[in-house]
Amino acid sequence: MLIDCSYGIPDRAALIIVDVQKGFDDPRWGNRNNLQAETNISRILQVWRKTGRPVLHIQHLSKKLNHPLRPEASGSEFKECVEPLGNEPIFQKNVNSAFIGTNLEQYLREHGYNCVVIVGLTTDHCISTTARMAGNLGFKTYVISDATATFDRTGHDNKHYDAEDIHNISLASLHDMFATVVRTADLIEQLMIS
């Protein structure tokens, strides 16, 4: 699938890397799908940087006690595969949306970034919430399906939900409503020809 964002990916499209932090390796989260997500994010990031496009990092700093993403916990640190460069801004949040409690929207608008590509963790929480808000705020939004992942969940009815099912349903609910969902290979192909 080719990405229609003004005939390809604009030079000023922003890559938003959400919550790729060490704390998501904690066993407390349980079973996870798409163990290749970080590899795909790293591939995208390398190509993105080579093309000179802007990279924005989102860091979740939880306010919950004993949470692996608390500011003082080593789990709040970025994974090495996405370590920010000095010129790449970091937006710190403590809720699911990268737009709440941060100046992300203002930053995007001030720099003329009207197209965003979202990758990271987790599909049904921070990726979905951020993508929904980006779409509602009028940004042309892409979510990269195999550059995000989630965990098994237990519902209000104590029913178990598999991570892969949650991931796929979350992406299906975003596609063509809030964002366009594409694969890493398709994104990289577009980056190389635009």
What is the pLDDT at residue 11?
Answer: 77
What is the pLDDT at residue 6?
Answer: 41
Position 18: which residue type? V
pLDDT, tens digit only, all 194 positions of the chain: 334 444 467 778 999 999 999 999 999 999 999 999 999 999 999 999 999 999 999 999 999 999 999 999 999 999 999 999 999 999 999 999 999 999 999 999 999 999 999 999 999 999 999 999 999 999 999 999 999 999 999 999 999 999 999 999 999 999 999 999 999 999 999 888 76
Are 28 and 66 a contacting pair, CB within 8 Å? Answer: no
Are 136 and 118 a contacting pair, CB within 8 Å? Answer: no
What is the pLDDT at residue 8?
Answer: 63
Domains of the chain with CATH codes: 14-193 (3.40.50.850)
The structure tokens listed for 54 are: 């802007």
What is the pLDDT at residue 79?
Answer: 98
Measured CA to CA, the distance from residue 21 to residue 176 in angstroms comes to 29
What is the pLDDT at residue 4?
Answer: 46
Cα dihedral sign for 58, 62, 66, 71?
positive
What is the pLDDT at residue 194?
Answer: 67
